[in-house]
C-alpha cells in the first residue's frame, strides 16, 4: 500500500511587524545614507560603490551625464523584473528607495570629507552599507544589484554581501580599464567593506536550530505552527529530575528567532530553549517571503 506523503499547511510567517510609515521612514534614512556615502566619500575621489550605482558613476565620469539620472534609468528594467520575480511589496519599497536615493544624490553637494582616497573608500563603504542593510532588513532594497542578490538568496543560502561583492567586482574591474587601476583597487576595498557590513546587518540567510524542552507540548505546538516552519517532536526525560517532557526542534532564520523566543516565553515560561546556528541544511526549508 502506497503512502501519501504528508505535506503540512504552513501559515503565513509571523514577522516582527513595522507600520508602513515606519518602513518608509527607514527606507528614506537608508537612501540618505547611500547618497551621503556616494557624494561625500566615493564620488569626490571618483571611486565606485559597485552595482548599478557604479555603472551609473562610470557613465557619468566618461560622458559627463548626471549620475542621479543615469542611476534612475538603469534601475527601471531591474525593478520591472523584480516585480515579477520577487514580489510587489519588496518592489514598492525598492521603488521608494530608488526615487529617494536619486533625489538625495541630486541635492547633497559633492564635497570631499577626506583627502585620502583609502579613508574615502572605507567610510564610504561603511555608510553606504548601513543604508543597504537597513533597507534589506525592512524587506526592501536600494535597487540595482540588490534586487538580483535578493533573488539569489531566496533560492540559495548565500550571504548577500558575498553576492554583491562578486557582482560589483566586475563593475569595478571596468573602472580599471576606463580610468585608473589605483582607483579600481580603492573601489574594490570599498566594496569589500560594504559586503562585510551588509552581512552584519542583513542576516536573513543565517539559519538557526531551536531545541525547546517543555511539558506543555500541545500548547507549544499549537503556537509554533503559526511561525512558518515545521517542527519535530521528541519524547524525552530529564537526566536530573527524571521527569517526562518533550523536546521540540525547529529550524528558522535569524530574522524569525525573536518571534520563536516570544512564543516560547508566552506559552511556557518554564521551558528551556537552546539555539544553535546551522552550518548547512539539506531538504525542504520554507523560506520566508519578502
Whole-model pTM: value is 0.68
Contact 92, 136 (CB under 8 A): no
Contact 53, 122 (CB under 8 A): no
What order of strands is seen across the sheet that includes strand 232-237?
232-237, 244-253, 207-214, 272-278
Residues 228, 12: Cα–Cα separation, whole Å: 6
Burial class (CB in 10 A: 0-12, 13-18, 19+), 7: exposed
Question: Which one, of 146, 194, 193, 191, lies nearest residue 171 by Cα?
Answer: 191
- Identify the pLDDT of residue 18: 62
One digit per residue, the tens of pLDDT, for the chain of length 290 reads 444 444 444 444 434 456 788 888 999 999 999 999 989 998 898 887 667 777 887 788 778 888 778 878 888 888 877 777 777 787 888 888 888 988 998 899 999 889 999 999 999 999 999 998 888 888 787 777 777 777 777 667 677 677 777 877 777 777 677 667 888 888 888 888 988 888 888 766 678 899 999 998 889 988 888 877 888 999 998 888 888 999 999 988 877 788 888 889 999 999 999 999 887 777 666 665 55
Domains located in the chain, CATH noted: 20-201 (no CATH), 207-278 (3.30.70.120)
Residues 272, 111: Cα–Cα separation, whole Å: 54
Amino acid at each position: 500500500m502506497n503512502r501519501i506523503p504528508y505535506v503540512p499547511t504552513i501559515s503565513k510567517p509571523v514577522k516582527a511587524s513595522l507600520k508602513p510609515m515606519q518602513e518608509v521612514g527607514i527606507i528614506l534614512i537608508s537612501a540618505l545614507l547611500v547618497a551621503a556615502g556616494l557624494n561625500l566619500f566615493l564620488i569626490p575621489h571618483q571611486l565606485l560603490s559597485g552595482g548599478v550605482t557604479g555603472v551609473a558613476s562610470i557613465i557619468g565620469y566618461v560622458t559627463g551625464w548626471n549620475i542621479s539620472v543615469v542611476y534612475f534609468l538603469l534601475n527601471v528594467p531591474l525593478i520591472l523584473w523584480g516585480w515579477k520575480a520577487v514580489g510587489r511589496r519588496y518592489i514598492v519599497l525598492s521603488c521608494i528607495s530608488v526615487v529617494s536615493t536619486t533625489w538625495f544624490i541630486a541635492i547633497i553637494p559633492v564635497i570631499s570629507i577626506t583627502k585620502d582616497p583609502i579613508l574615502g573608500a572605507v567610510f564610504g563603504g561603511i555608510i553606504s552599507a548601513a543604508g543597504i542593510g537597513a533597507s534589506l532588513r525592512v524587506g526592501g532594497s536600494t535597487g540595482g544589484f540588490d534586487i538580483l542578490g535578493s533573488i539569489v538568496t531566496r533560492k540559495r543560502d548565500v550571504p548577500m554581501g558575498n553576492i554583491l561583492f562578486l557582482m560589483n567586482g566586475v563593475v569595478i574591474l571596468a573602472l580599471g580599464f576606463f580610468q585608473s587601476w589605483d582607483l579600481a583597487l580603492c573601489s574594490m576595498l570599498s566594496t569589500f567593506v560594504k559586503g562585510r557590513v551588509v552581512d552584519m546587518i542583513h542576516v536573513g540567510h543565517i539559519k538557526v536550530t531551536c531545541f525547546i524542552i517543555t511539558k506543555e507540548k500541545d500548547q507549544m505546538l499549537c503556537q509554533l505552527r503559526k511561525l512558518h516552519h515545521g517542527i519535530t517532536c521528541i519524547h524525552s526525560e530529564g537526566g536530573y529530575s527524571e521527569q517526562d517532557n518533550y523536546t521540540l526542534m525547529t529550524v528558522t532564520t535569524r530574522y524569525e528567532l525573536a518571534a520563536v523566543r516570544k512564543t516560547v516565553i508566552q506559552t511556557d515560561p518554564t521551558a528551556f530553549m537552546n539555539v544553535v546556528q546551522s552550518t548547512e541544511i539539506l531538504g525542504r526549508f520554507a523560506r520566508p517571503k519578502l
